Amino acid sequence: MTKLECKNKNELKVQCNHCKSIFSAKSSSRTSHLRRHLNNCLKKVNKDITQYTMTTQQSLRGGPSIKNYKFDADECRRAVSTFLMCGKHSFRTVEEPRFRYMMRIASSNCKNISRYTAARDVLMYYAKERDHVKEELVKAPGLICLTSDNWNSEHTNDEYICITAHWVDKDWKLQKVIIRFRVLFPPYDGLNIVDEFVLSLSQ
């Protein structure tokens, strides 16, 4: 309700912010009719707080911003796959009661999955990401530079090779992505490393 200016100082009127109806609001009279109107106003928009979520992005005033929330089941499954792979967790983790409790607290829309489903998800998202990388490399407007890093594990004495592709995209931004990471078998010479480059490009 918004207070209105009246010519008669003894008279007090208010206007509904939703439908713009005007009501009397004398101090001597009750305000139950105002409350009743606010509860029943047809033009009042009820906003469900569950449709909003706090984000980590900063607003112009420096505080956290609020945006519309929509649960994305595919994005949730992708996040679980990323969690498992990056943290080197067992697929059985998704069947642990505390993990499922955490996911249920995060969103009641999260569905429980088995370790077999989690394993299939990881392979599926890996294939999607691999295809996406291929598309980005095909769209590269210029040359693509490949670099390799080799190192030896102190614990297993295994030799590893990591091949990274570097290129400048159409917006003149430097991009890079790992296209191959695996154990390098002897002999550790230039010919063997070249073979790894050829294999990475063929796959």
Domain-wise residue ranges, the chain? 2-40, 74-136, 140-202
CB atoms within 10 A of CB 196: 18
pLDDT tens digits for 135-190? 988 888 889 999 989 888 888 888 898 999 999 988 899 999 988 888 888 888 88
β-strand pairing of 145-152 with 159-168: antiparallel
Position with higher pLDDT, 34 vs 130: 130
Average pLDDT, the chain: 81
**Chain segment 8-21, per-residue pLDDT in tens:** 766 777 888 777 78
Closest CA to 119 of 86, 155, 94: 94
Give the pLDDT band (50/70/90) at residue 60: very low
pLDDT at 157: 84
Q: Which string of b and e fits 44-78 if b means at least 16 CB within 10 Å?
A: eeeeeeeeeeeeeeeeeeeeeeeeeeeeeeeebbb
